[in-house]
Amino acid sequence: MRLLRVATCNLNQWAMDFDTNLRNVKESITRAKAAGAVVRIGPELELTGYGCEDHFLEQDTTAHAWECLKDILSGDYTNDILCSIGMPIIFKSVRYNCQVFCLNRKIIMIRPKMSLANDGNYREFRWFSAWTYKDELVDFQLPIDVSEVINQETVPFGYGYLQFLDVSLAAETCEELFTANAPRIDLAFSGVEVFMNASGSHHQLRKLNLRIDSIKDATRLCGGVYMYANHQGCDGGRLYYDGCCCIAVNGDVVAQGSQFSLKDVEVLDALIDLDAVSSYRACVSSFREQASHVTKVPCVKVQYKLCQTFRDGMIPTDPVEIMYHCPEEEIAFGPSCWLWDYLRRSRASGFLLPLSGGADSSSVAAIVGCMCQLVIKDIDKGDEQVKADAARIGQYRDGEFPTDSRELAKRLFYTVYMGTENSSEDTRSRAKRLAEEIGSFHFDVPIDSVVSAFLSLFERLTGKRPHYKVDGGSHTENLGLQNIQARIRMVLAFMMASLMPWVHSKSGFYLVLGSSNVDEGLRGYLTKYDCSSADINPIGSVSKQDLRAFLRWAAVNLQYSSLAEVEAAPPTAELEPIRTDYSQLDEVDMGMTYEELSIYGRLRKIFRCGPVSMFQNLCHRWCGRLSPSEVADKVKHFFKYYAINRHKMTVLTPSYHAESYSPEDNRFDLRQFLYNSTWPYQFRKIDQLVQDIDKDGKWVEDRRADSQLRQRGAARPAQGGGMGVVAAGSANPSVGL
C-alpha cells in the first residue's frame, strides 16, 4: 500500500499586496507540513493575487512575484514537501500564468496554463498567453538573483508531469478543469495519479455544484486523486472567491473546505491510498485499451520518494458528505464576508446605509448584521486576526474587543431613514425595528424642508412649480419631483458618512452602501445618482425573487423577525403622494413583474437572446397564457426601457457579483449604452412573426392543445430554445400570468 498525505488550501489573498500574500502562502505551507503532508497546492496566481488585472502588464508585478518565491526558497518551507506555487512568469518576452513546483529549495518544473479563462468576468487573454506546445519541455533560464540563491540555472518549462520514484503528479490550472479536451485525460493515460488544480474561481449563486461535479467527474472517469485549491475572499474587486478547496479520489470527495469564511488561511489534508487508484483504473477495460495507445507526454524524473508504506493506525481518509449552502445562505454569507474584507482592507471605520424599510435596503442591513454575527462567532472560536481587525475597526481600546454582534453593529453601522411627506408610517416603523434588532446606530431624518428649498429655488429661477401626477402634473413633472427626493438622499448619505465619525469623536470615514438589485438595474428602474449610487453594493447582482426568499430565511435564521413583515409588503418607492385611491407600486411603475424581469434577464444574457429570439422563446413558454401580440408587447416594452436606461449601468455602484444575468457594465456585460430605443428593424420582425402566426392558425391549435393538456392535469413540455433550462433557474417560471 502506497500512502500519500496531501494538502490543499483556501487563501484570502489581496491583489498587489505581496506582504499579505507571501505571509499567507508561508502559513499554508507551514500548516501543511505540520499535518504531515508531503504535497501542497495553493491557488492560482497566489503570490500576486488573481485580480491584479492590468497590473499584470507591469514588469514590477512579475519581478515582485520572483522576489517572493526567492524568499520562500531561501527558507526551509519547501524542505521535504512538494509545493505548487502560482505566479506570473515571462518566458521569451511572453507572459504566462504558471504553477511553479518546488521541493527542497529547488524549482523542479514550471507548468504554464494551457487553457485561459476569457469569458464572463475573466479576461486572461488580455494579460497572458496560453502555452500550446505539448511535445516537449524546454529549458527556462532562472532570474540571476534566484539562480544564485538556490544554486540552479535552468528548470524544465511546459506541459508535462513529475515522475517521482513512487508516484506521478501533474498540474491543471482552473479553467483546464472545465475544458472538453482537458490535459488530465492524456496525463491519466500516461499513468499520472495525482492532479493538482490551482484555481481562482469566484462565487455565483447556485454554481458550486457544477464545480464539485466537475472535480468528481474528473476522477470518476479516469481515476486518480484531484487536489483543488482556491482563493477565498475579496481580493480588491467585485468578485468574491468562494474557496471550497477539496480533495477527491476516484469520484469521491474525501475533504472539503469552507465556501465562505473570514479566515485568511484554511488548510485541508487527506491520506490517500494510491494503490486504490491503480486498482480503479485497471478494472476498467476501456481505460486500459485507450491508455495503451496514448501519445507520450513529457515528464520530469525526480529521484525522490513521497509515499509512505502502511503502518498500524494509518487509515486512508474516508469520503465525506458534500456541504452545499442553500441560495438564501449564499446571499447571507458571501456578501457578508465580502463586506468584511472590503471594510478591513479599505481602512474604513464602518458602513452607512440609507434604510427605507423596503426589501432591498432591509436585505443589505440584514447582510451587515450577518457580517457582525460571523465576526463574533470567529472571535469566540479564537481567531486572533478577526479579533484584531474588529477591535481596530470598532476603535476599542486597552485590549477590549467586541463580544456581541449588536454591540459591534452599534460601533460600525449607521442606518438612516430619510422620510418625506410621501413616506408611510409602515416603512418608518419597519426601518426602526430592524435597526434595533441588528443594533445599528439609527437616524430618522425628515428631508421635506430640503426638497421644498430646491423646489422654491427652481420656482424663483423659472416661475413654475412642478406637481405630481395625482395632483394634475405631467409625466415630466412627476418624474422630476421623484428624482429630486432620491438625489437629496444620496447627497445626505455621503455627507453623514464623512461627518458622523467626527460628530461621535471617531477617526476615519464610513462607506456608503447601495441597495439596488439586479432586476432594477436591468430595467433601469432607479434614479441615476440616487441611493443606488454608493461606495459598494452587496446585492447589486441579486434578483428580487432571491432577495425575498433571503428575507424570509433571515427573519428566522438571523433572528431579525421584522424582515417577515418587510418581505410581505408590496414593493414601493414611496416617491409619490399617498392617496386613498392611489398607492405607488414598483411593478405597476415598471409595467412588468419582478418574475418577468428575471426571465427577461436570463434570456438576454445567459441564452443570448435579442428582441426577436426572446419573442420566439416566450411565445412557446407562455403558450396558452398570452397571445403572440401580448407577448410581443411585453418584449417590446422590456427592450424599450432596457435601451433607454442602459446608460445608468456605466455609473452603477461596484456590486458583489452573484448572478449570471447581471447587467454590470464594467466587465461582465459589455454592451453599448446608446441605443435606438425603438429597435425599428427588430420590432418589425416581431410584428411580422405575429402576423404569420395569426395567419397560419398555428397559435390557435397550440392554445387548444395546451388547454386540453391542462384539463387532463398534464404538464405541457417545454418547447423552443432550451426554455426548460430557464424554467429551472427561476422561482416561478410561469410568471403567474
Q: Name residue 98's amino acid.
A: C
Determine which one of 174, 234, 337, 609 is catalytic. Answer: 174
Which helix or strand (DSSP H or E) is residue 5 part of? strand 2-11
**SS3 at position 344:** helix
Question: Active site includes 113?
Answer: yes
Q: Is 730 left (phi over 0), alpha (psi -120 to 50) or beta?
A: beta
Contact 315, 467 (CB under 8 A): no
The DSSP secondary structure of 458-485, one letter per residue, reads: HHHHHS-----GGGT--HHHHHHHHHHH
Q: Name residue 677's amino acid.
A: S
Contact 386, 262 (CB under 8 A): yes
Quote the Cα angle for 331-336-338, to 5°: 105
Question: Active site includes 595?
Answer: no
CA distance 158 to 138: 7
Start-end of H helices in 531-610: 544-557, 562-568, 586-590, 594-605
CA distance 332 to 499: 29
Determine which one of 113, 216, 410, 634 is catalytic. Answer: 113
Q: If you search the block for the grid coordinates 432607479, which residue do you land on?
A: 526
CA distance 144 to 158: 20
- β-pair type (252-256, 138-141): unpaired
**For residue 655, what is the DSSP state?**
B
Sign of dihedral through CA atoms 660, 662, 668, 672?
positive
Contact 660, 546 (CB under 8 A): no
CA distance 98 to 128: 10
577 Cβ partners below 8 Å, 6+ apart?
Answer: 421, 422, 468, 470, 471
Which helix or strand (DSSP H or E) is residue 253 part of? strand 252-256
Question: Active site includes 199?
Answer: no
The CA–CA distances, whole Å, from 710 to 191, 443, 698, 701, 703 equal: 56, 53, 18, 14, 11
Phi, psi of 384 (to 5 degrees): -70, -30
Determine which one of 9, 28, 33, 44 is catalytic. Answer: 44
Quote the Cα angle for 665-210-615, to 5°: 50
**For residue 555, what is the DSSP state?**
H
**SS3 at position 249:** strand
**SS3 at position 647:** helix
All cell numbers assigned to 327: 441560495
Quote the Cα angle for 103-273-278, to 5°: 100
Which helix or strand (DSSP H or E) is residue 527 part of? none
Q: How many CA atoms lie within 13 A of 41 on its CB side?
A: 33
Rg (CA), the chain: 29
Count CB neighbours of 568 within 10 A: 11
Contact 103, 78 (CB under 8 A): yes
499 Cβ partners below 8 Å, 6+ apart?
Answer: none
478 Cβ partners below 8 Å, 6+ apart?
Answer: 466, 468, 469, 576
166 Cβ partners below 8 Å, 6+ apart?
Answer: 2, 305, 306, 307
Question: Active site includes 174?
Answer: yes
The CA–CA distances, whole Å, from 414 to 41, 56, 504, 521 equal: 42, 38, 12, 25
Q: How many CA atoms lie within 13 A of 330 on its CB side?
A: 27
Determine which one of 28, 190, 258, 356 is catalytic. Answer: 356
Residues with catalytic roles: 44, 113, 174, 356
